[in-house]
Structure 1
Amino acid sequence: MRRQRIGSLEVSALALGTLPFGKWVDDRTAFAILDRFAEAGGTFLDTANNYVFWDGGTGDESEEAVGRWLAARGNRDDLVVATKVGARPVTPGTGLENAEGLSGATIRGAVEGSLKRLGVDHVDLYYSHIEDRGVEPEDTLGAFASLVEAGVVREIGASNHATWRLERARAVSRANGWPLYTAVQQRYSYLRPRPGVKLPEGGHVHMTDELFDYAAAEGDVALVAYSALLSGQYRDKPLGEHYDHPGTTRRLAALHAVAAEVGATVNQVVLAWLMARDIIPLVGATTVAQVEETLGSLEVVLDDDHLRTLDSAV
């Protein structure tokens, strides 16, 4: 499988999202999915310390499921494990309005919980899961720096952050000689929601042209796209009203035309298009068949004409 760089890390060009594991997907199925991904050369696993609190979960389930697989397979050194801090509700049954946040004390305490659940001695990539504007960036980034210095974390990233907040954080880190955010994980796919629309999923922040410009100018910010396949909406689920605009019609037509021409599924073309833009798609799965389809995107070749067709549909 092709590789990308995130700071000092070499990761697979596809990331496997493990959000449903331990809650919606049992260990037998989760292990089969993880096995197939690893067999194909996938190395980049993504989880968080709050999945899936919004559906009666505790937030422990996904990390614990990944930890059980790592222990069973004995392959920790072959994987790049990413997890997140900041969006776990302080009180069970509450939501993001009661998130733990990004204070230094919270980050230091939360990483210990993640390490225990994952059964590892370090996290390869540790994300700020959501913004916390009630905490000074020096507090947050100083804590991350201390974890990197202690060898508990290798690289740090930001998820669901405004671009100006990302720049401010990196400026603070530079001024103090601390590690920089080297990855940004935001929502992104081929279809675009109406500008300014509020998505039903709480906390989701989209990649923007400003972020693309910033990442290109900096040269050391990797982009990871979650909800890359819109949770099945390209295949058999209706698109919500937030995608109800003429651009969606035009982009779907282009997408289906290219898929037919290259002999791939629509999902595979979306993933190939993202990878052609040097964006790492983060794709979840609840069956091995879904992983197989995702892996098939690596064989899809989009030439310049295909990319022009896809990019010109606006």
Structure 2
Amino acid sequence: MSENTPRMALGTMHFGTRLPETRSREILDAYLDLGGLWIDTANCYAFWGSETGLGGQSETVIGQWLTDRGVRDRVRISTKVGAEPTRPHSFPDAVEGLGKDTVHRAIRDSLHRLQTERVDMYWAHMEDRAQTIPDVAATFGDLVAQGLTARIGLSNHPAWYAAAANVNAQQRGSARFSALQLRESYLHPRPDVPVEGEDHPHGMMTAESKDLAGRCDVELWAYTPLLTGAYEHPERPLPEAYEHPGTHNRLAVLRKWSDRLAMKPSQVVLALLNAQQPTITPIVGVSSVAQLSEAVQATRLTLPEEAVEELNAAG
């Protein structure tokens, strides 16, 4: 990865559904031109936006773009398994889960849609407590051994699960989970209040997951880093769980540094995630090339040390 590579992943959740294929390809083209590397998707994207009630649209758009542009060697593809409904419109009551046969079938289906022989990161999208940790670790480790993915990660799993799975992988001599994908932003909800629209009970990034990442060489990826535009669009209110004094204090400091640095609040947030220790890679979903350009610019910026300290201490 060069110094000019944006320190982010492009989120493609709505490609092929809410965002039509033409717009999706424009964003992919621009991301490539801007030096982007990681493209993040999932086999279930976006079943809730499709008349079929099933996913696969995002992978299909990306796969056709990769083939048409001939640029597979210039990007890294990240996709997921575990949250696709087993019947149309059946989430969350009936989802595929992480059983061995399901995962092996799902990755081959994803590779077919993506028109590639392997992906660069394959995530367990959500917990499946019906499977044992050793079984899940073995299932995903086998995918690396078979050359179907370069790396494996856990999305929406607690830190203790990742630690236990990696101990098991070490004992087996197989690939370990080298990344955690969780919800994280500058603002944080109250821990005792459910976040509206958040389907994963262990989806929030915590101090424990950050500690695990820093001590055990595990990357952190953050989804919903910009809270669906709430930092700059007052017409998009934050979920009730964010209504507490810490939010107001943090927003005041964010506005201060946004004005001082002549950056949008969302750009400060992205730069701040990159500045954390351990570093957090934001997954940024956009609906226009202009939004993408602003996000890429932000991830290339280095915030003043004073800004990082004051923003982190606020609240």
Normalising by structure 2, report the TM-score. 0.94
The equivalent residue for 1:296 is 297
Task: Indicate whether 1:15 and 2:9 are aligned.
Answer: yes
- What letter is aligned with 2:250? R
Once the two structures are TM-superposed, the CA of residue 300 in structure 1 deviates from its matched residue by 3.1
Unpaired segments of 5 or more residues in structure 1? 5-10
- Post-superposition CA distance 1:13-71 (Å, at most 9, x none): 11000001000111211111111111111110000000111233421101001111111
Identify if the C-alpha distance between structure 1 residues 3 and 206 changes in structure 2 by more than 3 Å, giving closer, same or farther: farther
- What letter is aligned with 1:193? P
Counterparts of 1:1-314 in structure 2, within 5 Å, are 12-56=6-50, 57-204=53-200, 205-218=203-216, 220-236=217-233, 237-277=236-276, 278-314=279-315
Return the alpha-carbon distance in structure 1 between the equivalents of residues 88 and 242 of structure 2.
32
Once the two structures are TM-superposed, the CA of residue 299 in structure 1 deviates from its matched residue by 4.4
| 8 Å Cα contact 1:264/1:300 also seen in 2 | no
Return the alpha-carbon distance in structure 2 between the equivalents of residues 83 and 221 of structure 1.
18
Return the alpha-carbon distance in structure 2 between the equivalents of residues 297 and 313 of structure 1.
21
- Post-superposition CA distance 1:109-152 (Å, at most 9, x none): 10011001101100110000001111012222222222211111
Structure richer in strand, relative to its length: 1
Identify if the C-alpha distance between structure 1 residues 244 and 42 changes in structure 2 by more than 3 Å, giving closer, same or farther: same
Once the two structures are TM-superposed, the CA of residue 293 in structure 1 deviates from its matched residue by 1.3
- What letter is aligned with 1:209? A
| 8 Å Cα contact 1:88/1:96 also seen in 2 | no
- What letter is aligned with 1:251? R
The equivalent residue for 1:7 is none
Identify if the C-alpha distance between structure 1 residues 18 and 39 changes in structure 2 by more than 3 Å, giving closer, same or farther: same
Return the alpha-carbon distance in structure 2 between the equivalents of residues 263 and 132 of structure 1.
45
Return the alpha-carbon distance in structure 2 between the equivalents of residues 144 and 239 of structure 1.
36
Once the two structures are TM-superposed, the CA of residue 196 in structure 1 deviates from its matched residue by 2.0
Query: What SS is found at the alignment partner of 2:150?
Result: strand
Return the alpha-carbon distance in structure 2 between the equivalents of residues 113 and 95 of structure 1.
20
- Post-superposition CA distance 1:128-178 (Å, at most 9, x none): 000111101222222222221111111000000011111111111111111
Identify if the C-alpha distance between structure 1 residues 3 and 230 changes in structure 2 by more than 3 Å, giving closer, same or farther: farther
Once the two structures are TM-superposed, the CA of residue 247 in structure 1 deviates from its matched residue by 0.4
Return the alpha-carbon distance in structure 1 between the equivalents of residues 155 and 197 of structure 2.
15
Normalising by structure 1, report the TM-score. 0.94
| 8 Å Cα contact 1:12/1:44 also seen in 2 | no
- Please identify runs of 4+ aligned residues in structure 1 that moved more than 4 A: 1-4
- What letter is aligned with 1:17? G
Figure out how many residues of one structure are paired with residues of the other and give that number. Answer: 307
Q: What RMSD over aligned residues (CA atoms) do the two structures have, in Å?
A: 1.5
- What letter is aligned with 1:252? L
Return the alpha-carbon distance in structure 1 between the equivalents of residues 296 and 144 of structure 2.
32
Identify if the C-alpha distance between structure 1 residues 3 and 81 changes in structure 2 by more than 3 Å, giving closer, same or farther: farther
